[in-house]
Chain A
């Protein structure tokens, strides 16, 4: 299966600041996604990271709050901007199209706490 790393693995941030999360996969993939998982809850898709173009956001998520980059086929970043305690969550990246498969694989997640 895909080997996916996320940095940082966890962070504690102050209200009003921004944090950029990195996602790196060990081989080129077709699709990269960003999810949010609030404590004890299921996964909610934030956006699809598109290589070379603007990300596609799901309802309730906007680019100003969650800017996303995907400069190549193995790397993406998600920024959580102007953070508030409500942004405390686990942020997960996932990939699809790894070595020709259509399975979606997840990274280990980034646990964010906003004070």
Chain B
């Protein structure tokens, strides 16, 4: 079955710097890759997603890149702010929204 790895497990950056989180997946049939942000005491919130027919997607300070050949995708956050501090989860799916396999998560801390 699908296996999703995520690195780093923790990441600390200074406010204003960029943060990059990388995920790798094992199943080449996976075609949908969402990223979720989970703040303490809350459910995961979708922040951006990418499908296998696209190499890059951007939404303001957040971008995701996908390398299908290497089977990895990355989350890029620019101009980080303290409110970006949270746990971020990547996921991979073969059926556009079903049968998600989640990565283990990255705890991002943005230091003021």
Which residues of A pack against B, CB within 8 Å? 1, 4, 31, 41-43, 45, 48, 92, 96-97, 102-109, 111
Interface residue B25 (Cβ < 8 Å from any Cβ of A): no
User: Bound state CA distance, A1 and B49, in angstroms?
Assistant: 14
Tell which of A1, A104, A107, A108 has the most Cβ of chain B within 10 Å: A104
Interface contact A42-B103, CB-CB below 8 Å: yes
Tell which of A4, A43, A97 has the most Cβ of chain B within 10 Å: A43
Q: A45, A48, A109: which contacts B42 (Cβ < 8 A)?
A: A109
Interface contact A92-B105, CB-CB below 8 Å: no
Specify the main secondary structure of chain B where it touches its partner. Answer: loop
Interface residue B3 (Cβ < 8 Å from any Cβ of A): no
In the complex, besides A1-B46, A92-B43, A104-B46, 11 extra interface pairs with C-beta distance below 8 angstroms are A31-B97, A42-B105, A43-B102, A96-B98, A97-B97, A103-B97, A104-B34, A104-B100, A106-B45, A107-B43, A109-B43
Q: B32, B89, B96, B98: which contacts A42 (Cβ < 8 A)?
A: B89
Specify the main secondary structure of chain A where it touches its partner. Answer: strand
Given contacts A43-B102, A45-B100, contact A103 B49 (CB under 8 A): yes
A56 to chain B, nearest CB (A): 10
Interface contact A92-B97, CB-CB below 8 Å: no
Q: B43, B49, B99, B103: which contacts A108 (Cβ < 8 A)?
A: B43
User: Bound state CA distance, A104 and B104, in angstroms?
Assistant: 18
Interface contact A103-B89, CB-CB below 8 Å: no
User: Bound state CA distance, A104 and B35, in angstroms?
Assistant: 11
Interface contact A43-B34, CB-CB below 8 Å: no
Chain B, Cβ-Cβ closest to A43: B102
Would you list 25 pairs from A and B whose C-beta atoms are within 8 A, ordered by A residue?
A4-B43, A31-B98, A42-B102, A42-B103, A43-B44, A43-B102, A45-B99, A45-B100, A92-B43, A92-B44, A96-B97, A96-B98, A102-B97, A103-B34, A103-B46, A103-B97, A104-B34, A104-B97, A104-B98, A104-B100, A106-B36, A107-B43, A108-B43, A109-B41, A109-B42
